Amino acid sequence: MPRLRLAAVGAVISAAAVLAFAAGCDSGTPSAASWHAQSGSGSYPGSGQGGGDPIAHPAAAPAGSTPAAKPSASASASPSASTSAAPSVSASTAPPADGIIRTTGDATVALTFDDGPGPDTPKILQMLRDQGIKATFCLIGVNVQEYPQYVQAIVKDGHTLCNHTWNHDESLGKKSADVIRADLQKTSDEIHKAVPDAQIKYFRHPGGNFTPTAVQIASDLGMKSIGWSVDPSDWNTKKWSGQQMTNHICSNVRNNTKPGSIVLSHDGGGDRSATMAAYKTLLPELKGKFTLVALPV
Ligand SMILES: [Zn+2]
């Protein structure tokens, strides 16, 4: 009898989970100001968040215009020229002083999804496809090894790739240069096993714990370091779950996303049903307000 009852409870719970996914954001305006207030303390540790340093974006090209290919190479090659100078304040396209890009540098908004690929990646890809939205995926090497077909799907859909280290070592940046270089190279090599000609122009340190050494090595390997300016903390599953998490993500993204934002979310690293539920509502909303872009390669 207890077993039957448990089964019934389980059925109710899974039905609720399905409903939660289907529900998306709670209707109405961003309701909880307190969530907004918490977003700072609940954010990832490290230096990935904040700031207004722009990415060198090859012109504010409208979505759909294709010739965005090469100009970034010259932009990324220049920092050495201004080494000893104080952080220059020339143009808005100047590289950020710490080498970490946290905004798109123009009015566009970039959605970024970390810690995949994982079991939920195809569903998130489908959601993006349905809305005609391109994004950026920061991939973990061991997950690439497990789900190479999802890396292929990400590339096929026209999204941008980002190296998120081999196994998400949040203190990798404090290790020796050789260790860091080997980790990033191994990760990129694994991505290239899945998609031989994949472009990997970005690096995001786990937890946003960039160090100057890690940023430099990433640059040596042809990758720009990207942080974020909006963190809805969908990774913090100890703090929120279910509809509460969904609402938190909705509220945080709605309150904080503005022209130039780089938004951090996750397609891997655990159950992403709350993230998917939130973006089911958020994607059309964001698309209506902003030009959403994959970071340029
Ligand atoms: Zn991560």
> Tell me: the pLDDT tens digits for 66-89?
333 333 333 333 344 333 434 333
Residue 22 belongs to some domain of the structure: no
Residue 277 belongs to some domain of the structure: yes
State residue 211's pLDDT score: 98
Mean pLDDT over the full length of the chain: 81
Residue 128 belongs to some domain of the structure: yes
Range of the domain at 38: 32-56+96-293
Residue 224 belongs to some domain of the structure: yes
Cα(206) to centroid of ligand 1, in Å? 5
Give how many domains the chain has, as a whole number.
Answer: 1
Residue 213 belongs to some domain of the structure: yes
The helix (H) or strand (E) run that includes residue 163 is: strand 160-163
Cα(108) to centroid of ligand 1, in Å? 23
The rounded Cα 178 to chain-centroid distance in angstroms is 26
Cα(294) to centroid of ligand 1, in Å? 18
Cα(275) to centroid of ligand 1, in Å? 14
The model's pLDDT over 191-248, given as tens digits with 9 standing for 90+, comes to 999 999 999 999 999 999 999 999 999 999 999 999 999 999 999 999 999 999 999 9
Tell me whether residue 36 is one of the annotated catalytic residues. no
Residues of the chain with pLDDT under 70: 1-22, 28-94
Record the tokens describing residue 114, joined without a space: 């970390």
Residue 178 belongs to domain with CATH number = 3.20.20.370
Q: Which residue has the tokens 């090859």?
A: 58
Cα(146) to centroid of ligand 1, in Å? 17
**5-16 b/e (C-beta count within 10 Å ≥ 16 → b):** eeeeeeeeeeee
Residue 38 belongs to some domain of the structure: yes
The Cα–Cα gap between 205 and 228 comes to 11
Tell me whether residue 266 is one of the annotated catalytic residues. yes
Catalytically annotated residue among 53, 114, 115, 267:
114
The Cα–Cα gap between 97 and 116 comes to 29
State residue 96's pLDDT score: 82
Residue 221 belongs to some domain of the structure: yes
The rounded Cα 173 to chain-centroid distance in angstroms is 19
State residue 27's pLDDT score: 73
Residue 10 belongs to some domain of the structure: no
Cα(172) to centroid of ligand 1, in Å? 12
CB 62 within 8 A of CB 188: no
State residue 93's pLDDT score: 58
Catalytically annotated residue among 57, 159, 205, 266:
266
The Cα–Cα gap between 108 and 255 comes to 16
Strand positions, DSSP E, 22-80: none
